[in-house]
Every structure is written in structure tokens, then in C-alpha cells.
């Protein structure tokens, strides 16, 4: 029973901890990149070189994933701000979020959902690199706001959190054989780490959570769900493999909310950063549902 519902139990534990002792978890916020890097290292251990070759041989997979990312999510963000009649600062925050690339959390969720991890990692890398050009252009076009992205910092964070750990895992898997007994424990370990990260994020946003309006919550939830559904639907129209459909769905629906918060805080106000902060909480909640819905499929 514990093995089957461990992810939920881990999350409940850290949620309770974040509620009763938020200072404890918020004090280790600097560990989030390291924790994500550890999980990505574990994912690298599960990827086979044949998986990489397969993804490279099917460029349509990455093309569909990244194209939907920069088309569906910005348009959806804009339409939702109009439908819900959000004030200008909150609307700008949602548009900034919608124009961001896929987040590294998508790689972890793809892994836990038995998706195509190699495709997820390469899609995230591709969309992140393209975001250097497309994110500011899309924000300028949709919201009529000009911003600048710290290109070097963005590339550095992607390299340290995604590329380097995954590559290290691949190399370890290549040079050291008979790791199966170790690798089979990685999914549960990843669940524990992700639950801890969720607890840290909630602790950091404990004050903001109390001031969130319902229409903003609904807007964030719909933005995520529409991305997931449209991604899966478009992949299904192309008759792509099941694990690829899962992966594209997750890649499209999960934004780099960390980048969204950073851009909002650097160029605007903490109010503009609020949608990205809420999204960082919600997409982890929706991820739990995805894991249990897709884990055995």
C-alpha cells in the first residue's frame, strides 16, 4: 500500500511540515537547484543511448513539442486573461508565464509517468535555448512590454540543472554496468525529492497563498490543463507512440515558472510574479494526478 501511494504520502508529509514549520523548509530554498540536479542525474541513469538515437532520428517529435510550447501556451494565456477580466499586473504575469519555455519539472514528471525521458530532456533544452529569442518577442507582441533575458544566466542554469546531471548519468550508465538493482529504487527516491521541493515552494509562498483570488486560481489551473490536453490531442492526431504523447502533453503544459518569476521580479513587481509562483505550486499538484493516471499505462 505504501509503495503504491508513496508519492501522495511524501507530499502530505512535507505539506504538513510547510504548514506547521514554514521557516524550516524555506531556509533550505537554496538547495532546490541541487535537488533538481540530483533527480536529473538519476534520470540520466535510466536513459539508454538507444533512446537518444531514437529521438534524434525522429525530429518531428521535438518539433511538435517545442512548436506547441510557443504557440499554445502564449495564446491560451492571453485569451484567459481576457475571459477572466484580470487586472493589468496579474494579466501581464500570466502572459509572461505563458511565453516561458518548458520547465525542468516536466522531465521529472515524464520520468515518473513512464514517458520518453530522452525526448523530454531534449525538448526542454531546445525550448529553453529558443526562449532566449522567442520569450521576449512573444511578451513584446502579446503584452506590448519590452523585457530583456539574462542569456548567460539562463544557459548556465539549464546546463547545471539539466544538461550536466543528465549527461553524467548517461556516462555512468555507459561505463558501469549492472546498475539495475540501484536504478529500480530511483523512482521512489525522485518522488521523495520532488515532494520536498513542493514543500519548500509552498513554504516560500505561504503569505501569497492567503491573498490569492479565485479567478486567478482558475486561470492558472485552466492554463495548465489546456496545455496538457492540447499537447496530447495534437500528438494523438499525428499517431505518435503512447510514451511520446504523454511526454509532449507534459512538455507543453508545464512552464518554466522559475524563469517567469525571475523576469517578473526583475522587470516589474512581485504582483506580476504571483501567477508564476502559483503555477509553480499548481503544476506540482496536477503532476501528482498525472503520475497516478499514467503510471501504469
Judge whether 142 lies within some domain. Answer: yes
Judge whether 23 lies within some domain. Answer: no
Judge whether 123 lies within some domain. Answer: yes
**Residues 56-65: tens digit of each pLDDT:** 888 899 899 9
Q: Which residues pair with 102 in a beta bridge?
A: 255
Cβ-count burial of 231 within 10 angstroms (0-12 exposed, 13-18 middle, 19+ buried)? Answer: buried
Q: Domain containing 232: what range?
A: 28-176+186-203+211-292
Judge whether 1 lies within some domain. Answer: no
Strand, helix or coil for residue 5? coil
Rg (CA), the chain: 18
Assign 158 a pLDDT band (cuts: 50, 70, 90): low
Judge whether 35 lies within some domain. Answer: yes
Mean pLDDT of 200-210: 70
**Number of independent structural domains in the chain:** 1
For residues 101 and 33, is the Cβ–Cβ distance under 8 A?
Answer: no
Rounded to 10 degrees, the C-alpha dihedral 29/19/42/44 comes to -70
Judge whether 102 lies within some domain. Answer: yes
Tell me how far apart the alpha carbons of residues 224 and 219 are, in angstroms, rounded to a whole number: 9
**Residues 21-30: tens digit of each pLDDT:** 888 888 887 7
Judge whether 91 lies within some domain. Answer: yes
For residues 2 and 186, is the Cβ–Cβ distance under 8 A?
Answer: no
Judge whether 20 lies within some domain. Answer: no
Mean pLDDT of 255-265: 76
Mean pLDDT of 223-241: 92
Tell me how far apart the alpha carbons of residues 252 and 103 are, in angstroms, rounded to a whole number: 9
Tell me how far apart the alpha carbons of residues 262 and 57 are, in angstroms, rounded to a whole number: 35
**Residues 137-150: tens digit of each pLDDT:** 888 888 776 666 66
Beta-carbon contacts of 195 under 8 Å, excluding residues fewer than 6 positions away, are 7, 10, 11, 13, 14
Mean pLDDT of 88-96: 87
The pLDDT of residue 203 = 78
Tell me how far apart the alpha carbons of residues 182 and 186 are, in angstroms, rounded to a whole number: 7
Average pLDDT value over all residues in the chain: 80
Reported pTM: 0.74
Strand, helix or coil for residue 240? coil
Mean pLDDT of 63-78: 93
The CATH number of the domain holding residue 171 is: 1.20.1530.20
Amino acid at each position: 500500500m505504501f509503495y503504491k501511494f508513496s508519492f501522495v504520502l511524501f507530499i502530505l508529509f512535507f505539506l504538513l511540515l510547510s504548514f506547521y514549520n514554514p521557516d524550516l523548509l524555506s531556509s533550505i530554498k537554496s538547495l532546490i537547484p541541487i535537488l533538481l540536479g540530483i533527480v536529473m542525474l538519476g534520470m540520466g541513469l535510466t536513459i539508454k543511448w538507444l533512446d537518444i538515437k531514437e529521438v534524434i532520428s525522429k525530429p518531428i517529435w521535438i518539433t511538435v513539442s517545442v512548436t506547441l510550447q510557443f504557440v499554445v501556451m502564449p495564446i491560451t494565456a492571453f485569451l484567459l486573461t481576457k475571459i477572466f477580466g484580470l487586472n493589468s499586473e496579474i494579466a501581464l504575469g500570466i502572459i509572461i508565464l505563458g511565453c516561458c519555455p518548458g520547465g525542468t519539472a516536466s522531465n521529472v514528471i515524464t520520468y515518473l509517468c513512464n514517458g520518453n525521458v530522452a525526448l523530454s530532456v531534449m525538448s526542454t533544452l531546445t525550448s529553453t535555448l529558443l526562449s532566449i529569442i522567442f520569450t521576449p518577442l512573444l511578451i513584446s507582441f502579446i503584452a506590448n512590454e519590452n523585457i530583456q533575458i539574462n542569456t548567460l544566466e539562463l544557459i548556465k542554469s539549464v546546463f547545471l540543472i539539466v544538461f550536466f546531471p543528465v549527461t553524467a548519468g548517461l556516462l555512468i550508465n555507459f561505463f558501469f554496468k549492472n546498475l539495475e538493482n540501484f536504478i529500480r529504487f530511483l523512482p521512489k527516491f525522485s518522488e521523495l525529492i520532488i515532494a520536498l521541493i513542493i514543500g519548500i515552494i509552498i513554504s516560500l509562498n505561504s503569505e501569497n497563498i492567503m491573498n490569492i483570488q479565485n479567478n486567478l486560481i482558475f486561470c492558472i489551473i485552466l492554463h495548465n490543463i489546456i496545455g496538457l490536453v492540447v499537447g496530447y490531442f495534437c500528438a494523438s492526431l499525428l499517431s505518435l507512440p503512447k510514451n511520446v504523447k504523454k511526454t509532449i502533453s507534459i512538455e507543453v503544459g508545464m512552464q518554466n515558472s522559475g524563469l517567469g518569476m525571475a523576469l517578473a521580479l526583475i522587470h516589474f513587481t512581485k504582483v506580476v510574479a504571483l501567477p508564476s509562483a502559483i503555477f509553480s505550486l499548481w503544476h506540482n499538484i496536477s503532476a501528482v494526478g498525472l503520475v497516478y493516471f499514467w503510471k501504469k499505462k
